Amino acid sequence: MDFVRNLPAISILACMFAAIISSGLPRRAARFLNYVLIAAVGGMSLMCLAYVMNIQGSVVYVMGKFPAPWGNEIRFGVLECLMALFFSVVMFLAVLGGRHKMRDEVAKGKEFLYYVLIDLLFSSLLALVYTNDIFTAYVFVEINTIAAAGLIVIRENGRTIEAGVRYMVMSLMGSGLLLAGIMIMYDVTGHLLMSNIKEAVDQIISSGEYYIPVIVAIALMTTGLCIKSALFPFHSWLPDAYGYSTVSSAAVLSSLVSKGYIFLLIKLFYRVVGFEVISNSHILRIMFVFGLIAMISGSVSAIKQSDIRRMIAFSSVAQIGYIYMGFGMGTEAGMIASIYHIMSHAATKSMLFISAIGLTDVSRGSRDFKDLTGAALRNKVAGVGFLVGSLSMVGIPLFSGFISKLQFMNAAVDLSLQKMLPSLIVLGISTILNAVYFMKTVIRIYTPVTKVEGGMEELTVMEGERIGINGVVHEEDRITFRKQILYGTVIILFILLNIILGVFSNEIITMIRMGLEMFA
C-alpha cells in the first residue's frame, strides 16, 4: 500500500494534536506551529490530489482494523483533495492576513487560544471533507461549531458574545436536526458508512417500502445543514458574527466554515442517498426557492448597510443563496457551478474581509462609509484588494466570479422553463444589486479627499458631494507597502489566487467533474 493513502488521516490527526500541544505553548510558538501545520496539510493534500489524479479513482482508507460494514473509513477522490488543498490555501492566507490586527483584537495572554481554535477548526473541516462515516461527520460538525463560536467570541465585546450565543443557538438547532436525520437513517438502513447506506437506500427505493422515512431523514439532514450554513431565513446571527469578530475569524468563518457544511451536504446527496433519489424528491425545489430569495434579500440588506464589514457579511448571505440555487437546479451542471462557486466565493470573500480591515485602519478604525472616503488612496494595496474582490463578486471577466456566474447561467439554460426563467431573472437582478453596493463602495474608497482653504472642513473632488468633517485626512494614516509587507503580500497572493481560479477555470471544472464522478 502506498504511503500517500495515509496522508488524509495523518493531516486530520496532526491538526488535532497540534491543537492540544498549542494549548501549552507560548504565543509565538503556537503561531509558528499553526503556520507550519496549515502549510504541511496543504502539501499533503496536494500529494493526495496528485495520487488520485494518477490512479483515476477514489481511495478508501480503513481507520482501525474493522472492515467495511462496521468500521470507520476515510475516502478521498479528486474533489475531496482539491477542497482540502483549497481550504488550506485560503486558511493560510486568512490567518496570515489578520495577523497584524491580532494585538488589538485579542486580549493579551489569550493569543495562543486563537491558534488552538484555528487548529481545531481546521481538523474538523478536513474531517468533514474526508470522512466516509456519517456519525463521525456529526461529531466533527459539533467540533466545528464549537471552534467557530470560539473564534467569534475570542474578541471580547458585548456584540461578539451575543453573536456567538445566537450562532450557537442556530447551529445547535441545525445539528439537532442533522442528528435526528442521521438516527432515522441508521434506523432504516442499519448502517453508518455512507457507501453502505447508499446500497440500502437503493434497495428501499426500489422496493418502495419505508420510502417516507428515508425522505424524512434526508429532509431533516438537509434542513439541519442549511441552517448551519446560514441559508436565507436562518442568517440572523451572521452579520454580527462576521461584522464584529476578529478579521481572520470573519474571513475564515465566511469562506470556510459554512463551506464545510455545504460540502457535507453534497456528500449526503451523492454518496448517502444518490443524486437521482434527491432530484426526484421535492427537497431540491425548496432549496431552489430559498436560494433565490437569499440572493435577492441578502443583496438588498447589503445595500442598506452603512458599515463595510456588515455589508460584506450580508453579501455572504446572497452568495450562499447562489450555491443553494445551483443545488436546487438538480442537474450535474448546476452542481458543478455550485462547487466552483464555493471555491470562488471562499477566495473572494476572505480577500474582501482582509482588505476591508486595511481600509478601516487608515480611516481611524471607523467602518462607516462616510469615514472611508479615499481610504483606497491612503492604503493602496488594500484598495486594490477590495477592488479586485468587488469586480470578482460582480462578475467581471478574468476573475473567478465571472466564471461562476457563467457556469450558473449555462446550467440554468438547460433547465425546464419553470426553473430556467426564475433562475436567469434572479441571477440578473442579483448581479445588478451586487454591482450597486460593491461599486458604491469602490467609488467611495477611491474618491480623493482634498483640503478646502481655511478650515477643518473638507470636500471631495467630485463636484457637489459634501462629506462633512468626517473625511479629515491625517498624513500619518497613509500606509505604504513597505510598512506592511506581510499584509501586502497576502493581498497580492489573494489576487493571484482569484485570477488563477478565473484563468484556469477549465482545468478546475474538469477536476470537479472528475471528482463528482468518483464521488458516488
Partner 1 sequence: MGPNLLANYSEAVAFILFVIGFANLLLQKNLIKKIIGLNIMDSGLYLFLAAKGYITGRVAPIVVDGVQSVEAYINPVPSGLVLTGIVVSVSVTAFMLALTVRLYKRYHTLNLDEISMWLNKEGR
Which residue from 21, 53, 180, 406 is in contact with partner 1, where contact means CB under 8 A?
A: 180
Which residue from 187, 209, 414, 457 is in contact with partner 1, where contact means CB under 8 A?
A: 187
Reading the block at residue 318, the C-alpha cell is: 446572497
The residue (of 72 and 331) whose beta carbon lies closer to partner 1 is 72
Should residue 158 be labelled a site residue for partner 1 when binding is judged by CB under 8 A? yes
Residue 37 CB, nearest approach to partner 1 (Å): 23
Enumerate helices (H) and strands (E) in the chain, giving the number of each: 22, 4
Which residue from 45, 58, 144, 145 is in contact with partner 1, where contact means CB under 8 A?
A: 145
Should residue 216 be labelled a site residue for partner 1 when binding is judged by CB under 8 A? no
Should residue 159 be labelled a site residue for partner 1 when binding is judged by CB under 8 A? yes
The residue (of 64 and 464) whose beta carbon lies closer to partner 1 is 64
Which residue from 43, 71, 142, 211 is in contact with partner 1, where contact means CB under 8 A?
A: 142
Residue 188 CB, nearest approach to partner 1 (Å): 10
The residue (of 236 and 489) whose beta carbon lies closer to partner 1 is 236
CA distance 51 to 384: 37
Runs of H (alpha helix) within 229-281: 238-244, 247-252, 258-267, 275-280
Should residue 63 be labelled a site residue for partner 1 when binding is judged by CB under 8 A? no
Q: How buried is residue 409: exposed, middle or buried, by Cβ count under 10 Å (0-12/13-18/19+)? A: middle
Which residue from 62, 173, 492, 499 is in contact with partner 1, where contact means CB under 8 A?
A: 173
DSSP state of 76: E
Residue 101 CB, nearest approach to partner 1 (Å): 17
Should residue 164 be labelled a site residue for partner 1 when binding is judged by CB under 8 A? yes
The residue (of 142 and 332) whose beta carbon lies closer to partner 1 is 142
Should residue 109 be labelled a site residue for partner 1 when binding is judged by CB under 8 A? no
In whole angstroms, how large is the CA radius of gyration of the chain? 23
- How many CB atoms sit inside 10 A of residue 233's CB? 12
Should residue 162 be labelled a site residue for partner 1 when binding is judged by CB under 8 A? yes
Q: How buried is residue 20: exposed, middle or buried, by Cβ count under 10 Å (0-12/13-18/19+)? A: exposed
Which residue from 25, 53, 60, 172 is in contact with partner 1, where contact means CB under 8 A?
A: 172
Q: Could you please report the per-residue DSSP string of 6-59?
A: GHHHHHHHHHHHHHHHHTTS-HHHHHHHHHHHHHHHHHHHHHHHHHHHHHTS-E
CA distance 283 to 35: 41
Should residue 161 be labelled a site residue for partner 1 when binding is judged by CB under 8 A? yes
460-475 burial code (b ≥16 CB/10 A, e <16)? beeeeeebeebbebee
Secondary element (H or E) of residue 60: strand 59-63
122-141: contacts with partner 1 (CB under 8 A): 135, 139
* Contact set with partner 1 (CB under 8 A): 135, 139, 142, 145-146, 149-150, 153, 156-159, 161-162, 164-166, 168-169, 172-173, 176-177, 179-180, 183, 186-187, 192
